[in-house]
């Protein structure tokens, strides 16, 4: 069955690969309209490493304590090693239904509550989306890892792919998660100057959440600017919204710069607190 839930925003998930990160960045979901998140996941325990040891040549690099040697170690070995995998498959999708008024949003939400529930199954889900597409703009973003065949592009293909994923993964499983361990756990001498990546992980998680909130706010602003006929707007609203949009763009540039600095650092992650641009007063929707 499909795992379908209503949501005002969406964020990618997965094994930290570039593809899932790109999928997350491609989403721009406003709170005007209806948004449904589809998530189907099949997983099983994969291979794992035991009795892991660092080679002597790398221990020598760490033991020297020299900054250049530590940076050389990081360039060769990275921040940690992958100790085990979770194998399986993953299908994620975001379905956004464009509505033209607040009343239409409420009416559609009530009529779809049954057909978009987990118990309804793929046939009801596909049928409901197909019917909606004849009267409303429907956008679908999809991401797949594992299984085989093309990425689903339509509601019918997505429903079929989701239902078939468990069987498809049996013959074409792929790593969906990786457990990364710090090299610190391999050192017999705890005083050796090797930085852990826990601080950087906390910093990047915080920055990612700030970026997600900024993207959601930006999506709402863009929606109002792109659909002015759906709102009771005053002449002064549009310049204020344009100013807010510029502030959000500047904010995300700073967040991205801090994130890039964190990924390049050797363990530390300096996050400078900057206030999120305050939302302007939103015009009422018709």
pLDDT digits (tens, 9 = 90+) for 116-167: 554 455 566 667 777 777 788 888 888 888 887 777 777 777 777 887 888 8
Per-residue pLDDT, 210: 93
Q: Give the confidence band of 247 by pLDDT, cuts at 50, 70, 90.
A: very high
47-50 long-range CB contacts below 8 Å, 24 or more apart?
A: 47/84, 47/85, 48/83, 48/84, 48/85, 49/81, 49/82, 49/83, 49/84
- In this structure, what is the dihedral angle of CA atoms 247, 250, 255, 256, given to the nearest 10 degrees? 140
Q: Which one is predicted more confidently, 266 or 251?
A: 251
Per-residue pLDDT, 178: 85
pLDDT digits (tens, 9 = 90+) for 79-97: 788 889 889 988 888 888 8
Give the mean pLDDT of the chain: 78
pLDDT digits (tens, 9 = 90+) for 257-283: 999 888 877 667 888 888 999 999 899
pLDDT at 195 over 80: no
Element (H, E) at 34: strand 34-48
Q: Which residues pair with 140 in a beta bridge?
A: 95
Burial class (CB in 10 A: 0-12, 13-18, 19+), 18: exposed
* Residue ranges of domains in the chain: 4-196, 197-286
Query: Any idea what the Cα angle at residue 95 is, between residues 113 and 205, rounded to 5°?
Result: 110
Contacts of 184 (CB under 8 A, 6+ apart): 190, 194, 196
Please report where in the chains the tokens 């910093």 appear, as a residue. 203
Q: What is the pTM of this model?
A: 0.65
pLDDT at 203 over 70: yes
Q: Which residues pair with 180 in a beta bridge?
A: 82
187 φ/ψ angles, rounded to the nearest 5 degrees: -85, 130
Per-residue pLDDT, 245: 95
Per-residue pLDDT, 17: 40
What tokens were used for 163? Answer: 């239902």
Distance between CA 38 and CA 149 in Å, rounded?
A: 19
Q: Which one is predicted more confidently, 193 or 36?
A: 36
Q: What percent of the chain has pLDDT over 70?
A: 81
- Of residues 201, 215, 196, the one with CA closest to residue 271: 201
Q: What percent of the chain has pLDDT over 90?
A: 14
Please report where in the chains the tokens 């993953």 appear, as a residue. 90
* Lowest model confidence (mean pLDDT) among 8-17, 174-183, 203-212: 8-17
């Amino acid at each position: 069955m499909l795992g379908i839930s209503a949501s005002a925003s969406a964020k990618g998930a997965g094994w930290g690969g570039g593809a899932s990160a790109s999928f997350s960045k491609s989403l721009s979901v406003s709170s005007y309209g209806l948004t449904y998140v589809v998530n189907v996941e099949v997983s099983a325990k994969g291979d794992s490493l035991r009795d892991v040891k660092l080679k002597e040549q790398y221990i020598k690099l760490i033991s020297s304590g020299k900054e250049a040697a530590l940076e050389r170690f990081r360039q060769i070995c990275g921040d940690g090693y992958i100790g085990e995998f979770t194998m399986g498959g993953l299908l994620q999708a975001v379905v956004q239904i464009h509505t033209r008024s607040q009343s239409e949003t409420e009416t559609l939400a009530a009529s779809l509550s049954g057909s978009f529930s987990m118990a309804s199954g793929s046939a009801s889900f596909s049928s409901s989306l197909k019917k909606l597409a004849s009267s409303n703009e429907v956008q679908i973003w999809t991401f797949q890892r594992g299984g085989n065949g093309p990425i689903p592009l339509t509601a019918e293909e997505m429903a079929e792919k989701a239902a078939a994923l468990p069987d498809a993964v049996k013959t074409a499983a792929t790593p969906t998660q990786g457990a990364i361990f710090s090299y610190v756990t391999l050192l017999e001498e705890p005083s050796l100057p090797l930085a852990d990546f826990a601080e950087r992980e906390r910093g990047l998680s915080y920055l990612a959440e700030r970026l997600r909130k900024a993207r959601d706010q930006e999506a709402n602003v863009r929606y109002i600017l792109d659909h002015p006929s759906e709102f009771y707007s005053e002449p002064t609203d549009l310049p204020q919204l344009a100013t807010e949009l510029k502030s959000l763009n500047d904010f995300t540039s700073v967040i991205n710069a801090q994130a890039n600095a964190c990924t390049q650092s050797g363990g530390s992650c300096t996050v400078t607190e900057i206030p999120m641009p305050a939302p302007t007063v939103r015009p009422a929707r018709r």
